Amino acid sequence: MSLDDVRRYLIAYDISDDVRRTKVAKKLESYGDRVQYSVFIVDTRPAKFLRLRTQLTDMIDEGTDSVLFCNLGTLRANNRRSLDVIGCSRTITDHGPAIL
């Protein structure tokens, strides 16, 4: 997998329902690293990202819930310095899970 093909996404959610929130969290945990309670870093190819986005859309109530997607660029262009944390931080795997 070329680092030029892999993009880093920051994904955050605001979901009030416990059942939906748990399903979304478990789905995101299978794709990337949890960096805050409702914030994840996901390294993946654009096609896999679109699949994840579709799955999350099917899980939430678009009338009350929200999911924010931030494309942070290619993994090659990214590095640890692109994220700055004050206080206790969680570990982000160097290249995240390899999702092909």
Residue ranges of the binding site for Mg(2+): 14
Give the Cα-Cα-Cα angle 42, 43, 45 (nearest 5 degrees).
Answer: 120
Q: Is 11 left (phi over 0), alpha (psi -120 to 50) or beta?
A: beta
Give the DSSP letter of residue 77: T
Q: Which residues are annotated as a binding site?
A: 14
